[in-house]
Amino acid sequence: GGGLHARAAAKGLAFGAALATRHLAEADLMAAFRADCGLLVAEYEMKWAELEPQAGNRRWRRADQLVDFARRNRMALRGHTLVWHESEPRWVSDLSARGAEAALARHVDETMQRWRGAIGTWDVVNEAVAPEHGRPDWLRRTWLLNRLGPDHIAQAFHIAHAADPAARLAYNDFGVEHATAWSRRRRIGILTLLRALRASGVPVHVLGVQAHLHAGQPFEASEWRAFLADVAALGLTIEITELDVNDRALPAAAAPRDAGVADLVRRFLDVTLAEPAVRAVVSWGLTDRHSWIREGRLAEHRRRDRATPRPLPYDEAMRRKPMWAAIAAAL
Ligand code: XIL
């Protein structure tokens, strides 16, 4: 139908969203996935800590359920994410450097072999550039960095490429989209990393731009366009991998809040989709009902009695919001 993926596919692009296995039973949500998504990514189930909670104890079932859902509905899949400091199993931090190297290699190989041919792009490494970029060691101090050094990033990509030479391999990160000094420093850090990887022959094919946007923060079309062109000039394609909008800076009432979110999404996607190297747009869920921005450390609305976040294309009752129309208009 006139769903988002149909519009994307008409331009050779893909549109999709993140899904968690626990929501597969929600018929209204599944109907929206079928109507709008040609691409799926597991919100949790393919992260290392979920796949191997104890060394050698591989738990594939929950991720398999999402892969089966995608297959039944003829959706492509993104793999998220092989290496991420926030989802390393605890047992890994007890290993020696050599033990860590072996565990990393086994994890990447076994995981990619499991769904070989079903997953088009893998986020091999997620969020490796230090958030407070500007320090000389602009890589985040992760367990893997201090055990294996900066080369662990290249190692992960080489192992992934050997495991499935047909898979497109992505470096995925956040905090590059806005016209702020912090985002500018992060864009430099990420371009520096990508240039170094490409210069040393590392098989990285895609930059994943998470696009966790912030309403109220400036967005400058010209600098965003220039960054995307710089990434494309490295021979990489680009995927928008986790689109949502933190709307806490907007008015509490739903109508102006939804309008502000839709305006930012429209401006962002108009510039983004003008770059030919951009091949996919994935939102971090479809419905406000399950957004991560309503959970955990981000759920400040509960602590400070603020308006409940409305970061995604559908509301809690699965009604399309202005953000849905903004994505549709940009595709
Ligand atoms: C988030 C999930 O949405 C949360 O529910 C979970 O508690 C933490 O991870 N960047 C990423 C995603 O790459 O994996 C994160 O997903 C959101 C930030």
210-231 burial, b at 16+ Cβ within 10 Å, e below that, comes to bbbbbbeeebbeebbeebbeeb
pLDDT number for residue 133: 59
Q: Is residue 3 classed as helix, strand or coil in its secondary structure? A: coil
Separation of alpha carbons 32 and 35, rounded Å: 5
Taking the centre of ligand 1 as the mean of its atom positions, its distance from the CA of residue 199, in whole angstroms, is 30
Q: pLDDT tens digits, residue range 236-275? A: 999 999 999 999 999 999 999 999 999 999 999 999 999 9
What DSSP character marks residue 133? B
- Ligand 1, atom 15, lies closest to the CA of 43
What proportion of the chain, given as a percentage, has pLDDT over 70? 95
Q: Ligand 1, residues 86, 129, 289, 294: which to mutate, most atoms within 8 A of Cβ?
A: 86
Cα radius of gyration (the chain): 19
Look-up of token digits 């400036």 = 218
Separation of alpha carbons 264 and 94, rounded Å: 44
Statement: residue 305 has pLDDT above 90: no
Q: pLDDT tens digits, residue range 47-63? A: 999 999 999 999 999 99
Separation of alpha carbons 316 and 229, rounded Å: 37
Separation of alpha carbons 129 and 174, rounded Å: 9
Q: Where are the extended beta strands (E) located within the chain?
A: 14-19, 39-42, 76-83, 121-126, 168-173, 206-209, 212-214, 237-246, 278-283
Look-up of token digits 């394609």 = 237
Quick one: residue 149, left, alpha or beta (phi over 0 = left, psi -120 to 50 = alpha)? left
Statement: residue 87 has pLDDT above 70: yes
* pTM: predicted TM-score of the whole model, two decimal places: 0.96
pLDDT number for residue 78: 98
**Band of the pLDDT at 283, cuts 50, 70, 90?**
very high
Taking the centre of ligand 1 as the mean of its atom positions, its distance from the CA of residue 91, in whole angstroms, is 21
**AA identity, residue 216:** G
Distant-in-sequence, close-in-space partners of 37: CB < 8 Å, separation ≥ 6: 3, 4, 5, 15, 16, 17, 75, 286
What DSSP character marks residue 193? H
Q: Is residue 320 classed as helix, strand or coil in its secondary structure? A: strand
Q: Which residues line ligand 1 (CB under 6 A)?
A: 43, 126, 210, 242, 292, 295-296
Contact between 143 and 87 under an 8 Å Cβ cutoff? The reply is: no
CA–CA distances in Å: residue 114 to residues 75, 101, 186: 18, 20, 34
**Band of the pLDDT at 156, cuts 50, 70, 90?**
very high
Separation of alpha carbons 214 and 76, rounded Å: 28
CA-wise closest residue to 260 among 278, 245, 242:
245
Taking the centre of ligand 1 as the mean of its atom positions, its distance from the CA of residue 11, in whole angstroms, is 29
* Mean pLDDT value across the chain: 93
Atom in ligand 1 nearest the alpha carbon of residue 47: 14
Atom in ligand 1 nearest the alpha carbon of residue 284: 3
End-to-end CA distance of the chain: 14
Q: Which of 50, 239, 242, 316 is catalytic?
A: 242
Taking the centre of ligand 1 as the mean of its atom positions, its distance from the CA of residue 296, in whole angstroms, is 10
Q: Ligand 1, residues 284, 286, 287, 312: which to mutate, most atoms within 8 A of Cβ?
A: 284
pLDDT number for residue 64: 98
pLDDT number for residue 178: 98
ipTM of model over 0.90:
yes
Q: Is residue 37 classed as helix, strand or coil in its secondary structure? A: coil
- Ligand 1, atom 14, lies closest to the CA of 43
Task: Respond yes or no: is residue 220 known to be catalytic.
Answer: no
pLDDT number for residue 136: 45
Taking the centre of ligand 1 as the mean of its atom positions, its distance from the CA of residue 284, in whole angstroms, is 9
Separation of alpha carbons 324 and 330, rounded Å: 10
- Ligand 1, atom 4, lies closest to the CA of 292
Q: Is residue 259 classed as helix, strand or coil in its secondary structure? A: helix
Look-up of token digits 């899904």 = 19
- The mean per-residue pLDDT over the stretch 69-79 comes to 98
pLDDT number for residue 135: 52
- The mean per-residue pLDDT over the stretch 137-154 comes to 77
Beta bridge partners, 39, equal 16, 76
pLDDT number for residue 148: 80
- The mean per-residue pLDDT over the stretch 216-245 comes to 98
pLDDT number for residue 140: 73
What are 99's two structure tokens?
């033990």
Separation of alpha carbons 178 and 94, rounded Å: 38
DSSP track, 204-234: --EEEE--EEETTS---HHHHHHHHHHHHHT
CA-wise closest residue to 154 among 109, 98, 197:
197
